[in-house]
C-alpha cells in the first residue's frame, strides 16, 4: 500500500489521533518528530498552507488537517472502520468532531492562556461546550456507540491526558467528574485500551511542555505592554 | 427516500450550496425560509448548538454545517457524485473546502466589516488566501477536475455573486480578473450552468442586504464607543 510517514509532534493532541488510527488499522508508518520552534523544510514543503503538524505522507502525497487525515485513513484502509457506516451517523460524528475541536480544544486553550475576568469567561464557555459533549456520551461506553472505539473517540482522545496536563499547568479545572460523570467514565474506559495507553506521552513531559508554553505566552504578553 | 426539508435563508451563501446539491441530485425538498432576526422554534429545535442555517432535515433527523450536509447528500443519494471517488482527491477536496470557508469567506467578511488600517490588513490576508485557491483552479474548467461541477465548485459557489455583492456594499475589490485570471474564468463557467443560474438570488437584493448589514455593524460599533 506504499510508504506511510507521519510528520508530527509528541506534544500535539492532533497528532496522537492520527497515530492511534494507523495503529488501530495495523498500518506500518515512519514517524518524523518535528521541532515546532524550528520547522523542517519537509513540513514546509508538505503543508505550505498552514505549516502545522500532523501531516500524513502516503506515497509522497501529503495530507494535512487531522480530521481529514482520519477520514483518509478510514477510506484507504478498510479494516477496523473508524467512522460509522450509516450516512446520518457519519454526519453526526463529523459534526461533533468539528464541535469538539473548535469549541472544546480551542475553549480549553483559551481558558489556559487567559487571565482574570477573561479566563473566567473562557472557562464558562468551555464548560458549556463540554456539557454538549457530555450529552453525547451519556449511556454509552464509547462515542462510537459500541464496544470498539471509533473516529469520535480518537478525536476526543486528548481529554484524559492533554486536558489534564493543561489543567495542572494552567491551575484550572474543566473536566470535573461531578459535572461530567459520563465523560469522566469515558476517559477511564478510553485510556484502559492497551493500544491507546501504550502510545500516550509521559504526563510529566506534557505538564512541563504546557508550563513552558504558558511562561512563553506570559512573557510575550508582558513584552507587548 | 423520506421527506427532505431545508431550513435556510435566501441571503446565506452557506444555504445556496445545499440547495444546489439537492437540485443536482434531483432530490425533491421543501424549503423553509428562516427570519434570522427572529429565529423560529423549528431552527432552535433542530440546531440547538449553533442556531444557524442551513439545516437539512431528512425524515425528521436534522443535520447542521453545510459541508457535512453536502457529504450527507452525497452519501445518501449516489447519483451525480459530488466528491471525487479517490480517497486522496477526497481529502484534498475537504482540505480546500475548509480552507475556503475559514480563510476566503471569513477573510472577505472581515475585510467587508472592518475599517481603516484593520481593513487593509484584512484585504491583504484575504487576497493571500485567494492566491492559494487560484492555484487550485489553474488549468481546469471546474474544481472537480472534469466537465461537471462537484463538491468544491459548490463550496466556492459564493464567489461569483455573494462576494461581488459584498464588494459593492463594502466599497472594496478582492476578486480582480487580473490578479486571479483562472478563478475569474471559473466564476464565469460556474454561473453559466443553467441549474446554478436559476437559483441565484437577485443581485440587488443581496447588495441591499449587505448594505443593511454594514449599517447595522457600524451602528453597533458606534454605540459601543
pLDDT digits (tens, 9 = 90+) for B132-154: 999 999 999 999 999 999 999 99
Residue B86 has pLDDT above 80, yes or no: yes
Say yes or no for a CB contact (<8 Å) between B88 and A58.
yes
Domain boundary among A51, A76, A101: A76
* Total domain count, chain A: 2
Give the closest-approach CA distance of A205 to chain B in angstroms.
32
Percent helix, strand and coil across chain B, each to the nearest 5 = 60, 10, 30
Q: Is residue A225 part of a domain?
A: no
Whether B51 and B23 map to the same domain: the answer is yes
What mean pLDDT do residues A150-157 have? Answer: 98
Q: What is the pLDDT of residue B106?
A: 98
Q: Has residue A81 been placed in a domain?
A: no
CA angle A123–A126–A127, rounded 5-degree value: 85
CA-to-CA separations, B154 to A56, A203, B4, B23, B159, in angstroms, rounded: 27, 44, 19, 12, 10
What range defines the domain where residue B56 resides? 4-76
Q: Is residue A140 part of a domain?
A: yes
- Whether the CB-CB separation of B42 and B52 falls below 8 Å is answered with no
Would you state the pLDDT for residue A173? 96
Find the CATH number of the domain harbouring B38: 3.40.30.10
In this prediction, residue A37 carries a pLDDT of: 87
Q: Which residues of B touch A98 (CB under 8 A)?
A: 65, 68
- Do A99 and A209 belong together in one domain? yes
Query: What is the C-alpha to C-alpha distance for residues B166 and B12, in angstroms, rounded to an integer?
Result: 12
Q: CA-nearest residue of chain A to B93?
A: A68
Residue that terminates a domain, selected from B57, B76, B95 = B76
> Which residue of chain B comes nearest to A88, CA vs CA?
B72
Partner residue opposite A72 with nearest CB, options B61, B75, B87: B87
Q: Residue A65: its chain B contacts at CB < 8 A?
A: 94-95, 98
Tell me whether residues A75 and B58 touch, CB distance under 8 A. Answer: no
- Please enumerate in sequence order all residues whose Cβ is within 8 A of that of A185, keeping only pairs 6 or more positions apart, or say none: none
**Alpha helix (H) ranges present in A77-193?**
87-99, 106-113, 116-137, 151-156, 164-170, 181-191
pLDDT category of residue B32 using cuts at 50, 70 and 90: very high
Look at residue B75 and give its three-state secondary structure: helix
Asked if B68 lies within 8 A of A98 by C-beta distance, the reply is yes
Residue B10, sorted as left (phi over 0), alpha (psi -120 to 50) or beta, turns out to be alpha
Same domain, residue pair B48 and B153: no
Rounded mean pLDDT, B174-202: 96
The answer on pLDDT for A1 being more than 90 is no
**Claim to verify: residue A50 and residue A124 sit in the same structural domain:** no
Please answer whether residues A156 and A200 qualify as being in contact, where contact means their C-beta atoms are separated by less than 8 angstroms: no
DSSP one-letter code for B200: P
Residue A64 forms beta bridges with which residues? A55
C-alpha of B89 from chain center: 21
Please name which of A10, A9, A207, A216 lies closest in space to residue A113, comparing C-alpha atoms: A216
Residue B64 DSSP SS3: strand
Question: Span B58-77, mean pLDDT?
Answer: 98
User: Cβ of A166: how many Cβ atoms within 10 Å?
Assistant: 26
Residues 6+ apart with CB under 8 A from A115: none
**Per-residue pLDDT at B225:** 75
Q: Which region holds residue A48: left if phi is over 0, alpha if psi is between -120 and 50, else beta?
A: alpha
If you average pLDDT over every residue of chain B, what do you get? 96
Q: What CATH number should be reported for the domain holding residue B162?
A: 1.20.1050.10
B90/A71 Cβ within 8 A: yes
Residue B208: all three cell numbers together: 441591499
Residues B110 and B24 in one domain: no
Q: B56, B76, B96 — which closes off a domain?
A: B76
- Report residue B224 as a C-alpha cell: 459601543
- Whether B224 shows a pLDDT value over 90: the answer reads no
- Which one of A91, A92, A131, A135 makes the best mutation probe of the B interface by having the most chain B beta carbons within 10 Å? A91
Mean predicted confidence (pLDDT) in A181-209: 96
* A123 and A182 assigned to the same domain: yes
Nearest to A75 among B61, B65, B87 (CB): B87
Whether pLDDT at A164 is above 90:
yes
B65: nearest CB among A61, A68, A95: A95
Map grid coordinates 521541532 to a residue. Answer: A35
Within 8 A of A60 by CB-CB distance, chain B residues are none
The per-residue pLDDT for A221 is: 87
Provide residues of A within 8 Å CB-CB of chain B.
49, 58, 61, 63-65, 68-69, 71-72, 75-76, 87-88, 90-92, 94-95, 98-99, 132
**Same domain membership, residue A42 and residue A105:** no
- Residues in chain B closer than 8 A to A64 (CB atoms): 95
Helix (H) or strand (E) holding B137: helix B116-137
Residue with cell 461533533: A96
C-beta of residue B137 within 8 angstroms of C-beta of residue B183: yes
Contact predicate A201/A11, CB 8 Å: yes
Contact A100, A131 (CB under 8 A): no
ipTM of the complex: 0.96
pLDDT at residue B127 tops 80: yes
d(CA B47, CA B53): 8
Cell of A161: 491526558
Cα angle A114, A119, A124 (rounded to 5 degrees) comes to 140
Q: How confident is the model at residue B173 (pLDDT cuts 50, 70, 90)?
A: very high
Cβ–Cβ contacts within 10 Å for residue B74, how many?
19
Residue B82 in any domain: the answer is no
Amino acid at each position: 500500500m506504499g510508504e506511510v510517514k507521519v510528520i508530527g509532534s509528541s506534544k500535539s493532541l492532533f497528532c496522537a489521533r492520527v497515530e492511534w488510527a494507523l495503529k488501530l488499522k495495523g498500518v506500518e508508518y515512519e514517524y518524523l518528530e518535528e521541532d515546532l520552534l524550528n520547522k523542517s523544510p519537509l513540513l514546509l514543503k508538505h503543508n505550505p498552507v498552514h505549516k502545522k503538524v500532523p501531516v500524513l505522507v502516503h506515497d509522497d502525497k501529503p495530507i494535512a488537517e487531522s480530521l481529514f487525515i482520519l477520514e483518509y485513513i478510514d477510506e484507504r484502509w478498510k479494516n477496523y472502520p473508524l467512522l460509522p457506516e450509516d450516512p446520518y451517523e457519519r454526519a453526526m460524528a463529523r459534526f461533533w468532531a468539528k464541535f469538539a475541536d473548535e469549541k472544546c480544544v480551542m475553549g480549553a486553550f483559551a481558558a489556559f492562556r487567559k487571565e482574570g475576568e477573561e479566563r473566567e469567561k473562557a472557562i464558562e464557555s468551555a464548560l458549556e461546550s463540554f456539557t454538549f459533549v457530555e450529552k453525547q456520551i451519556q449511556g454509552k461506553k464509547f462515542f462510537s456507540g459500541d464496544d470498539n472505539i471509533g473516529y469520535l473517540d480518537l478525536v476526543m482522545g486528548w481529554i484524559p491526558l492533554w486536558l489534564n496536563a493543561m489543567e495542572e499547568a494552567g491551575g484550572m479545572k474543566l473536566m470535573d467528574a461531578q459535572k461530567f460523570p459520563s465523560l469522566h467514565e469515558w476517559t477511564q474506559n478510553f485510556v484502559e485500551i492497551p493500544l491507546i495507553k501504550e502510545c500516550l506521552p509521559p504526563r510529566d513531559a506534557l505538564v512541563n511542555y504546557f508550563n513552558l508554553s504558558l511562561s512563553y505566552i506570559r512573557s510575550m504578553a508582558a513584552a507587548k505592554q
